[in-house]
Amino acid sequence: MTKNFPSEVQVLRVLVADDDESVGKTFGWMIEVLGYEARVAREGTSALSIAQSFLPDVVMLDINLPGMNGYEVCELMRADPLLNKCTIIAQTGWSQPEHLERSKKAGFDHHWVKPIPMERLEKLLISLSSQKNAA
Amino acid sequence: MSAIGAKSHIERREQEEALAPVDSKVENILLIDDLPENLLVYQTILEELGQNLMIARSGEEALKLLLKHDFAVILLDVNMPTMDGFETAFLIRRRRKSARTPIIFLTAFTDEVGMIQSYANGAVDYLPTPVVPEVLKAKVRVFIELSQMRRQAALQTEERVRREAAEEAARDSAFLVKAGEDLTRAQSQLELLRALVQLPLPYLSDASIAWVKKDEIGVDRVECSAVADQQMWDGLSEINITDLPWLKKAAEEVFVTGEVHYMNKVPTSSVHSDITPAIGSVIILPLVVKGQAKGCLVLVRHRSSTAYQLNDIPLANDLAYRVGVVLENVMLMEKIQEADRRKDEFLGMLAHELRNPLGPIYNAIQLQKLIRPEDPRMADLRDIIDRQARHMSRLIDDLLDATRLAHGKILLRKERCDLNRIVHQTVADYRAIIEASGLQLTMSGSKVPVWINGDPTRLVQAIGNLLHNANKFTKAGGTISVSFEINKKEKMARITVADTGIGIEPKMLSCIFGAFRQAEQGLDRTRGGLGLGLALVKGLVELHNGKVHAASPGADRGAEFIILLPIEHVENTKVRNDSFTPWNSDKKFRVLVIEDNRDAASSAKMLLHLAGHDVQTAATALVGLETARIFRPQVILCDIGLPEVDGYQVVRTIRQDADLSSMYVIALTGYGREIDQQQSLDAGFDLHLTKPIDFISLRRALALADIKLDSLDTRAP
């Protein structure tokens, strides 16, 4: 990972945080099936600490996380120089305008309302992956 | 000619008013003399003045006339037989009506003593007789004109008073109209009060305070105040009623009595550090909504202003009445807005709660398409779908039940059932889930059959909801303890579900049984749910004439929920098997499916068969009944819309047949309305299921069948 040979493909790292185990599990598998590296957290504080060592490219955060909610996690990530370039996605059941507004304020790149079609996730990961490898 | 003409017209009129000879009305003149010839002389002399001359021949007669008439002047002969002039004058003066009527004495004795006596008795003038006609005429004319002027002045005063009253009425009504306009713009109680306290300034008061008591928990009241002139009140721009205990007390009385309170003096005895000494007088008006004082308006006048009088009250009252009307509208509007806000919030939360399980279901299905069938993750995915779909259907059931409960539409299928069994069975059914959460579950208390008149499905639901909550709100390592106790004397059963979980804040205890309560936690909610569980428990228990309550020493210190239910009868013997197994265990039934739709019949058969039950099917009612007699199923699933003989007929026949009547018969139909449900229950079905039948509802139905059949066994001798 330290060297950047042109032939080496950099695999996108994705962190999923959701208190519902089945959400984390299925997203994790989905991301792996799509060919990326996944890590799963079940609450806000661990999501942050995992992120600090895992250094993900993409973070999918549930809003109603125990410990620290998704907005707080996102704000802290944005304040962290190692994490502030991440693509951070709110994945949530909340869909009213005030929720979208709040996500934007907290620094989320996207606000995705559950359920999330795999194609949408796939599209985003492909484009981010090509950006990363072109860089 | 327009402008100039108009002006000159006004000028002319003013001149006319100023110069016009005073009212030409005829005045009364009273002539008093005992001698007719004298009277005739006076009449002749005064005739040409054109006034009304009245005659009295004695003092008594004169006094009688004075009772009925007013006179511009009285000519009085001093020398009369029965009552002399002095006495008559004295009596005339004594009467209030004639105390100031001018009297001219007429007498032949022109001595000084007589004159002095005349004046002392009230004369204004004195004429010696025989009179000089010109002198008499001139003197009487003076008094007539005087009287006419006085009359005119009185008329003008009257007119002025009338005009002033009209102007005041117009001002009052303009004030009220403006008040109405200003108030109706208010969109909230606070806005209304803000407008209201400004209104009476300075026309009606020097300062005003208004407040409205709130019904909502938490906010005690909305209060506002304003002053007309800050300098008057030591630079204060507001007067806080809580700083004035005497005023607050008086206002609180108004809330109770609903009557206007008026104080034209305020207490001065006590020592005041406040503005009390500056207050001169006060009117406290109730703001009445639907016959109840919901608020009050306090009008305050400074000590330097005129104190309120009783006649200030009608206008103030009129204002308060109008405010009451507006307040009622505003309260209604706020209520509607609040309900609307709550509804939107609830819908947002409902969507959130339904999307939560939908997410993993969706993910799992997409993954199933991607991974190979033999992949070990497949089983996990199926479990996820199963668990999440169950969660979703629970949410939807709760939602529908809560709605039905709110509209009083839940139908209880009451029967004699064993509460002991229901409690133990429900606990057994939840044991696996609770233990999987890392919690300990204990069950204690009575184990004898306790017969109650209730709906087993709904009782299971109520107890199950408490267990579900306890499980949801208790961290791994905690304990859930259920106890079941009987009070034979009071014929009450008590079911307690206690946990060591997150507990309940004291201020929340009173409202946790309200529907949609959890919704108010907004985004900080991490445990999900619609917040309907406890409302359902309360509603269902109350439908059974029972009670629920909750207790908790506080946050993070656990909670205890208690259901109290009236019971009918307690048996003395313990139940034979005191260990209960969950319903979805291995209990197998003989099940008969009577269904003419071949696909529906075979899918039901397949589902039941997979669960290990012994299943037979019949396509018509007659074949069904015949099969029932030979196969002797414990449970029958019967379609309602069968050809020729319908499902209602089938169940009636079963109920009338001693051999078959104890079978558990479930209606299958496409109609789920309350009325359809009621109709099947009336016909004799034990349960009403709406097609399509899924595995979960089938399993639940068999669990209920188990309870029913078991209680029949227990009852059998």
Mutate to test the interface with A, among B375, B523, B527 (most CBs of A within 10 A): B523
Question: Is the pLDDT confidence value at B3 over 50?
Answer: no
A64 with B377: Cβ contact below 8 A: no
Contact check, Cβ <8 Å, A64/B358: no
Alpha helices in B25-132 (DSSP H): 36-47, 59-68, 85-94, 112-120
**Chain B, nearest residue to A71 by Cα:** B523
Report the 10 Å Cβ neighbour count for B226. Answer: 20
At position A9, the amino acid (one-letter code) is: V
**Contact residues, chain A, for B356 at CB < 8 Å:** 20, 23, 93, 114
For A13-134, CATH number? 3.40.50.2300
Determine contact, residues B493/B454, Cβ cutoff 8 Å.
no
Distances (CA, A) of B484 to B423, B457, B519: 8, 18, 31
- B715 compared with B291, residue with greater pLDDT: B291
Nearest residue, CB atoms, A64 vs list B354, B360, B526? B526
CB atoms within 10 A of CB B60: 13
Return the residue in A21, A22, A31 with the most chain B beta carbons within 10 A, the one to mutate for interface testing: A22
- d(CA A13, nearest CA chain B) in Å: 19
Distance, in Å, from the CA atom of B106 to the CA atom of B87, rounded to the nearest integer, reads 14
Q: What is the pLDDT of residue B20?
A: 42
Which of B364, B523, B524 minimises the CB distance to A26?
Answer: B364
DSSP classification of residue B555: T
Which residues of chain B have a Cβ shorter than 8 Å from any chain A Cβ?
A: 344, 348, 351-356, 358-364, 366-367, 370-371, 377, 380-381, 384, 387-388, 523-526, 528
Specify which residues A14 forms β-bridges with: A38, A58
CATH of domain B590-715: 3.40.50.2300
Residue B466: the pLDDT is 94
Contact assignment for A20 to B362 by CB distance below 8 Å: no
Which of A29, A30, A36 is the best mutation test for B, with the most CBs of B within 10 A?
A: A29
Q: Which residues of A touch B377 (CB under 8 A)?
A: 29
Spans of all domains in chain A:
13-134
pLDDT tens, position by position, A56-80: 999 999 998 888 899 999 999 999 9
Distance from CA of B619 to the nearest CA of A (A): 42
Closest CA to B362 of A117, A111, A95: A117
- pTM summary value: 0.56
Type of residue numbered B273: S
HSE-up of B182 (CA within 13 Å, CB side)?
Answer: 17
- Tokens found for residue B339: 């309900």
Put simply, the answer to whether A30 touches B371 (Cβ < 8 Å) is no
The whole-number average pLDDT for the span B523-552 is 82
Which of B349, B366, B386, B518 best probes binding to A when mutated, by most A CB atoms within 10 angstroms? Answer: B366
The average pLDDT across A2-28 equals 81
Residue of B491, B497, B496, B498 lying closest to B450 (CA atoms)? B491
**Residue A97 touches partner B, C-beta closer than 8 Å:** no
3-state secondary structure of B286: strand
For residue B549, give how far its alpha carbon lies from the nearest alpha carbon of chain A (Å).
28
Residue of A91, A95, A115 lying closest to B358 (CB–CB): A115
Chain A residues within 8 A of B384 when measuring between CB atoms: 22, 25-26
Q: Are B27 and B144 in contact (CB under 8 A)?
A: yes
B153 class by beta-carbon count within 10 Å (0-12 exposed, 13-18 middle, 19+ buried) = exposed
Q: Is B460 left (phi over 0), alpha (psi -120 to 50) or beta?
A: alpha
**Mean per-residue pLDDT of chain B:** 82
Instruction: Provide mean pLDDT across the span B264-289.
Output: 77
Please give the CATH topology (third level) of the domain spanning B406-570. Heat Shock Protein 90 (3.30.565)
| Chain A residues 7-46 with CB within 8 Å of chain B | 19-20, 22-23, 25-27, 29-30, 33
Give A19→chain B minimum CA distance, Å: 8
- Give the residue from A82, A78, A79 showing the smallest Cα distance to A90: A78
Using DSSP's 3-state secondary structure scheme, residue B214 falls into coil
Within a 10 A sphere around the Cβ of B82, how many other Cβ atoms? 10
- Would you give the end-to-end CA distance of chain A in angstroms? 14
Q: Do A116 and B361 touch (CB under 8 A)?
A: no
Reported confidence tier of residue B5, pLDDT bands at 50, 70, 90: very low
Lookup result for tokens 């939807």: B396
Query: Between A and B, how many residue pairs show a Cβ–Cβ distance under 8 A?
Result: 87
Q: How far apart are CA B62 and CA B72, in angstroms?
A: 14
Closest partner CB to A22 (pick from B353, B388, B528): B388
Q: Is B594 helix (H, G, I), strand (E, B) or coil?
A: strand
Give the pairing type, strands B450-454 and B569-570: antiparallel
Interchain CB distance below 8 Å, B363 and A65:
no
- A95-134 pLDDT, tens per residue? 888 889 999 999 999 999 999 988 899 999 999 998 888 8
- Interatomic CA distance for residues B142 and B51, integer angstroms: 13
Confirm or reject CATH 3.40.50.2300 for domain B28-155, answering yes or no.
Answer: yes
- Specify whether the CB–CB gap between B641 and B568 falls below 8 A: no
Supply the pLDDT for residue B526. 54
Question: Hey, is B26 helix, strand or coil?
Answer: coil
CB contact under 8 A, A23 and B526: no
Give SS3 for A91: strand
What integer pLDDT is reported at residue B16 of this predicted model?
44
- ipTM entry: 0.81
The answer to whether B457 and B704 have CB atoms below 8 angstroms apart is: yes
Q: Is residue B8's pLDDT more than 50?
A: no
Q: Residue B203's closest CA among B224, B183, B238, B173?
A: B173
Q: What is the pLDDT of residue B574?
A: 61
Distance CA B715, CA B415 (A): 13
* The one-letter amino acid at B74: I
Candidate from B355, B362, B377 with C-beta closest to A93: B355
Contact: A26, B371; criterion CB under 8 Å: no
Which residues from B are below 8 Å from A102, CB to CB? 523
Task: Characterize the bridge pairing of strands A58-61 and A13-17.
Answer: parallel
Q: What's the burial of A49, exposed, middle or buried (CB within 10 Å: 0-12/13-18/19+)?
A: exposed
Query: How many angstroms away from the CA of A70 is the closest CA of chain B?
Result: 10
pLDDT tens per residue across span B441-460: 999 988 888 889 998 888 99
Of A25, A93, A96, nearest to B356 by CB-CB distance is A93
Amino acid sitting at position B152: Q
Q: Residue B230: pLDDT band by 50, 70, 90 thresholds?
A: confident
Amino acid occupying residue B363: N
Say if residues B711 and B421 touch (Cβ distance below 8 Å).
Answer: yes
Give pLDDT, residue B11. 46
pLDDT for B671-698, tens place per residue?
766 777 888 888 999 988 877 677 767 8
Contact residues on chain B for A71, CB-CB shorter than 8 A = 523
* Chain B residues with beta carbon closer than 8 angstroms to that of A22: 360, 363-364, 384, 387-388
Chain B contact for A92 (CB, 8 A cutoff): yes
Asked whether the beta carbons of residue A93 and residue B366 sit closer than 8 angstroms, the reply is no
Nearest CB to A114 within list B356, B366, B370: B356
Q: Which of A20, A27, A29 sits opposite B356 (nearest CB)?
A: A20
Could you tell me the two tokens for B39? 């009277």
Determine how β-strand B687-690 pairs with β-strand B664-669.
parallel
Q: How far is B441 from B479, CA to CA, in rounded Å?
A: 6
- Binned at pLDDT 50, 70 and 90, residue B226 comes out as confident
3-state secondary structure of B333: helix
Are A26 and B525 in contact (CB < 8 Å)?
no
CA geometry: angle at B11 spanning B6 and B17, to 5°? 130
Query: B185-337: what CATH class?
Result: alpha beta
- Distance, CA of B260 to CA of A75 (rounded, Å): 58
